[in-house]
Amino acid sequence: MSHQTLSTILFLLFVAGTLGITFWASRNTKDATDFYAGGRSFSGVQNGLAIGGDYMSAASFLGIAGIIALSGYDGFLYSIGFLVAWLVALLLVAELMRNSGKFTMADVLAFRMSPRPVRTAAGVSTITVSIFYLLAQMVGAGALVGLLLGVTSPAGKALTIVGVGVLMIVYVVVGGMKGTTWVQIVKAVLLMGGATLVTLLVLGHYGFNLSGLLGEAAAQSGKGDAFLNAGLKYGTEAQGLAGKIDLISLGLALVLGTAGLPHILIRFYTVPTAREARKSVLWGIGIIGVFYLLTLVLGFGAAALVGGQAITAQDKAGNTAAPMLAEAVGKAIFGDVGGTILLAVIAAVAFATILAVVAGLTLASSSSFAHDLYAHVFKRGNVTDKEEVMVARISAFVIGAVAIGLGILAQGQNVAFLVALAFAVAASGNLPAILYSLFWKRFNTAGAVSAIYGGLVSALVLVVFSPVVSGSATALFPDANFAWFPLSNPGIVSIPLGFLAGFVGARLSKEYSAGKYAEIEVRSLTGIGAEQATSHQPAGEVQRQPGTDPELEPSTD
């Protein structure tokens, strides 16, 4: 039996199992709380596993291993940055968001501000960040199928991207948050098991001697000792100062971006108490921390056992390094049959990874559209749970179609790099608004809208005019050149701009409510009154008639 046949069978078994979970969950999805937050019925351990499943994406398993295999030490920053980012999420947002909101990030902002402009801005930002992240998963799916089935034509990979998109829409539309969460839990267990197995086999092949593994990786890379030192990808002589700044920009985006990712933020609403929210983040950090240590061995192992030339021959961005390593180490230890089986297992796990993450992203963006834009902007709160959930399901189709189209265009990009762009956009637009709203009494509607749009627009503009889109061999449009911004990641410029825009916008407006800030401060820190946020009325609107703005009056510091 070929690895293509075996991996296809394993993947179809996973799809059948998760579809069964999804349809089971759909029978228990009766209202908006079930669809958006899984009925707030998950324990901290379950949600921690789901957070790990949501966060350990194709970028983690495929992209990071590929960057380390091709760039050595410089790829290491992705592993560390993704992990350290969770400390920011734990210390600054996890418990506070759980206590303050209902279903989406905008619930926290709308509590003390004029809801319509704030929800509009938050909804636009959520959908934009989610589509960037979805883009990476779609590219990973295309690369993986190219390896497994020998598909090299863009049309063949495009068909794969369409198939993954259809499946993710089914997960969201049918199962909602309950189905998506259970899919992510199953996927987290499979991914940790597969990554641990390959890591142990690689270390065993080198007698558990890390020095031997690193030395072989450096030798096979063709770059010698430079492979194990900083500067191979960022800060080279050709890049000069811009390369060093790009490295700092990437680090900022990775560390600060997690706390602003919509599909991560909504996970905090699926647990019943703030204590469980903290527990879920701690479990998530533990799982994710172990996993990112494993990616180091996977990356350097791929460089040592597969080699950079073979990896780039299959996929120029290195996205297939991990499954190619599984095949190589399997053959080295167990022979050709062992290599075939291990490749099939790891490829099926990678597919599971992609499906689970795209389902979470689609749910976050469709929830934001239905709950923030449709229910509270277009309908001014005059909408039933049933109507809201129906709109969320319809928007999942539209967002899925957009992600499929962009994923087909972005083939050839490294998926970890694409996710770093999503992190930069989230850190630039969402994070300033969230932190200001939770910790600054003087913050107001104008500040929130300015922070979100200022960070979001600056990040997007800089990406469009960067080497990511044009002016380089790996750009989306390699034959065009309209790049005037020298950095690949805009974080070092767009993140400060987001915070500055929020500060200036808030100061230029005298409208804010000291009373509302005091209320959300108590709620976010203690959980007192948090049950109010789970009522049918949106957080912060419990004392208003539908369709009216909150009574926000000028106040003094």
pLDDT in tens, 417-454: 677 778 888 899 889 998 998 888 889 999 999 999 99
Per-residue model confidence (pLDDT) at position 541: 39
Residue 340 CA to residue 325 CA, distance in Å, equals 11
**Residue type at position 167:** L
* Among 422, 433, 205, 506, CA closest to 332: 205
Residue 82 CA to residue 56 CA, distance in Å, equals 9
Structure tokens at 121: 């801005």
Backbone angles phi, psi at 215, to 5 degrees: -65, -40
Per-residue model confidence (pLDDT) at position 391: 87
Dmax (CA) of the chain: 75
Which residue(s) pair with 477 in the sheet? 470
Per-residue model confidence (pLDDT) at position 534: 41
CA atoms within 13 A of residue 387's CA, in its CB half-sphere? 9
Question: Taking a C-beta distance cutoff of 8 angstroms, is the pair 408, 476 a contact?
Answer: no
Contacts 24+ apart (CB under 8 A), 246-250: 246/486, 246/487, 246/488, 246/489, 247/74, 247/77, 248/492, 249/424, 249/487, 249/489, 249/490, 249/491, 249/492, 249/493, 250/77, 250/81, 250/420, 250/488, 250/489, 250/491
Mean pLDDT, the chain cut into blocks of 10 residues (557 residues total): 71 79 73 63 81 75 86 83 78 73 72 85 87 78 69 75 79 75 84 92 92 90 83 66 83 86 75 76 85 91 90 81 90 86 82 76 81 82 81 85 81 68 87 89 92 93 86 77 87 94 92 79 69 42 37 43
Residue 242 CA to residue 355 CA, distance in Å, equals 36
222: left (phi over 0), alpha (psi -120 to 50) or beta: left
Residue 174 is classified by DSSP as I
Per-residue model confidence (pLDDT) at position 149: 66
- Helix ranges (DSSP H) in 410-481: 415-439, 445-464
Residue 450 CA to residue 445 CA, distance in Å, equals 8
Per-residue model confidence (pLDDT) at position 134: 81
Residue 544 CA to residue 552 CA, distance in Å, equals 12
Backbone angles phi, psi at 151, to 5 degrees: -85, 120
Distances (CA, A) of 353 to 14, 89, 218, 347, 494: 11, 22, 29, 10, 30
Per-residue model confidence (pLDDT) at position 297: 93
Residue 512 CA to residue 496 CA, distance in Å, equals 23
Residue 555 CA to residue 540 CA, distance in Å, equals 18
Euclidean distance between the first and the last CA atom of the chain, given in angstroms as a whole number: 72
| H/E stretch holding 404 | helix 385-409
* Among 273, 310, 229, CA closest to 530: 273
Tell how far CA 451 is from the center of its chain: 21
Which residue(s) pair with 470 in the sheet? 477
CB-based contacts of 184, cutoff 8 Å, min separation 6: 49, 50, 52, 53, 54, 356, 357, 359, 360
Residue 51 CA to residue 271 CA, distance in Å, equals 12
Which residue(s) pair with 554 in the sheet? 511
Residue 402 burial by CB count (10 A; 0-12/13-18/19+): exposed, middle or buried? middle
Question: How many C-beta atoms lie closer than 10 Å to residue 520's C-beta?
Answer: 24
CB-based contacts of 378, cutoff 8 Å, min separation 6: none
- Count Cβ neighbours within 10 Å for each residue of 479-509 and write b for 16 or more, e otherwise: eeeebebbbbbbbbbbbebbbbbbbebbeeb
Structure tokens at 321: 């390094």
Residue 266 is classified by DSSP as G
Instruction: Quote the radius of gyration of the chain (alpha carbons, Å).
Output: 23
| Rounded to 5°, angle at Cα 136 from 163 and 88 | 135
- Helix ranges (DSSP H) in 150-175: 154-170
Per-residue model confidence (pLDDT) at position 553: 44
**363-397 pLDDT per residue, tens:** 878 888 887 788 888 887 788 878 888 888 888 88
For the residues of 286-310, what is the DSSP string, one character each? HHHHHHHHHHHHHHHHHHHHT-HHH
Structure tokens at 357: 């993450």
pTM: 0.77
Structure tokens at 272: 């019943």
Structure tokens at 77: 């920053």
What counts of helices (H) and strands (E) characterise the chain? 23, 0
Q: Where are the beta strands (DSSP E) in 116-164?
A: none
Per-residue model confidence (pLDDT) at position 2: 65
- Provide the 3-class DSSP secondary structure of residue 555: coil
